[in-house]
Structure 1
């Protein structure tokens, strides 16, 4: 499967040579949202219809990052967490439901980013999470300080940890309170007053929450047959999406029945294979239009490349998906 490309902006920011910082912005474009996340390498694909609205908050420095991401659309998310850091996701929305690295997770599940592995998730509407990244060596020091070496084995074996609701609530409130206060009192943060809270405070609460919640059942991974079928089907889509391809052909190339493929896409993405293929093509058109020269490119040519030939229907579907016409995307470059 093709890996997405890092944006030039994120390449420059991956080293976090920005000192202490706080940023807060609202977005109506999911690509702009992804490109603005400091130290993250993200790539989104919209799977449902409707205009995107989102908000992003981040604070931290070279050793620690705390952030909150909120948006309203069903997105397939791929990418990489900040390099050299141990990263966790803390749900803010208790009704959160998403598929993360082949597991269904909910509002009391802590997500643990595996070292050197890609982010692969599908989020539903009302997405609201906090992310916490700490320098890997510093994380190891704090784990040893708390005498919690067994925690490292648990994190190595689990990418999703079901927290006790009260533990998750305390962790959520602490992280949210720190981020909110830094936003309101940036002078104190600029002077380094919140370094201990960002590092030792949140990390300590995180360690206690994980240890206290030992024994809780973790979500079960997806059946392997569906996992393999999804992987193969998505590889086929990425390679042949610009060509006519039926769901029967897709299932044959994935070596499963159409029904199995249907179940696999519904479980993972909440959409049918046909809808996913349509969304993939539509998102590729949008990316091409955002990168094209508005004085030289034509919408019809870009649409034709990705298999859209009936321009009236294409423009209607595009507007329903992204809440703007294709020509507006092209001119917004």
Structure 2
């Protein structure tokens, strides 16, 4: 695919949605050119200026239906906002300058020598500084999970949780960055007939990523006996006894004998999560447990979700996937495969 430089109007497809592209290269030097690429570039994000200075941004890479790889450089800085809803993970190595990545719950300041890993759906926007450069990639959750199962030879295990921010202080991470840089350079030489390039790239990057990227500690809930605050233990006992019923924080706090505010502060101190997050986590664990039991094989996933307090199936499915690295249907399918 030829260089689709955005300064030459008319040479790109008018299709404005995300689409596979073996190679693209956009040199953006004005607000008009940013808007032009946003309207027809077929990328997963839109670009916006961060100052009144004429933007200077170059983005070059390629993408298939399940992954993408690109290099970004800017002397002025820019803002990006996701434009698609897709079950993708984003990997970004900052090689110069910094980027503030704002998620829906927090934000990360990523500088040279650090890399980020997060779900695309969690990203609100990313603000790059002047003098910024980075090598970035996305990969489908399903593809990464399949690679993990092949690597570990344990098809029933959920995808491990990777650290959202990590440094390049070990050889594995530096080797992963080098692989991304070399493969991105080779994108210029990919031809229409080279259909094996992206599947091979996906496999190489997946295995390196899973082997080198630090994993976050497993989210283990402390036992009630290890908690210092008696009112937190009372709250947990009440929550566990009423997980399958509507729960209000005011009721939980009343049983614990404290205010809602103190209850929230105590949960954050003792468990590093809010009472609501604790309730959701325990409900997700119960659904996962039931989906793994043959006794519930005839019970629909929707009924199991509702049984444990999830009224909205789309929200439930997203939370389950983030927690266990697979869909509820995947968990059930794994259970049925084991018993057949």
TM normalised by structure 1 equals 0.51
Structure 2 residue 122 is matched with structure 1 residue 117: yes
Aligned partner of residue 70 in structure 2, secondary structure: strand
TM-superposed deviation, 1:214:
7.3
Name the residue aligned to 2:175: 170
Count of residue correspondences: 196
- Equivalent residues in 2 for 1:176-215 (5 A)? 176-183=181-188, 185-187=189-191, 190-211=193-214
Match of 1:154 among 158, 161, 166: 161
TM-superposed deviation, 1:43:
4.3
Alpha-carbon distance in structure 1 between the residues aligned to 2:153 and 2:93: 20
Name the residue aligned to 1:273: none
Alpha-carbon distance in structure 1 between the residues aligned to 2:153 and 2:165: 18
TM-superposed deviation, 1:55:
1.4
Aligned partner of residue 116 in structure 1, secondary structure: helix
Unaligned stretches of 5+ in structure 2? 1-12, 218-340
Question: How has the CA–CA distance of structure 1 residues 34 and 209 changed in structure 2, closer, same or farther, with 3 Å as cutoff?
Answer: farther
TM-superposed deviation, 1:143:
1.7
Report if aligned partners of 1:74, 1:122 keep a CA contact under 8 Å in 2.
Answer: yes
Ranked by relative contact order (alpha carbons within 8 Å, sequence separation 6 or more), the top structure is 1
TM-superposed deviation, 1:12:
4.1
Match of 1:132 among 137, 145, 168: 137
Report if aligned partners of 1:82, 1:133 keep a CA contact under 8 Å in 2.
Answer: no
TM normalised by structure 2 equals 0.50
Question: How has the CA–CA distance of structure 1 residues 60 and 78 changed in structure 2, closer, same or farther, with 3 Å as cutoff?
Answer: closer
Which structure would you say has the larger Rg? 2
Question: How has the CA–CA distance of structure 1 residues 195 and 153 changed in structure 2, closer, same or farther, with 3 Å as cutoff?
Answer: closer
- Equivalent residues in 2 for 1:282-321 (5 A)? none
TM-superposed deviation, 1:204:
1.6
Unaligned stretches of 5+ in structure 1? 1-8, 216-333
Structure 2 residue 103 is matched with structure 1 residue 98: no
TM-superposed deviation, 1:134:
1.6
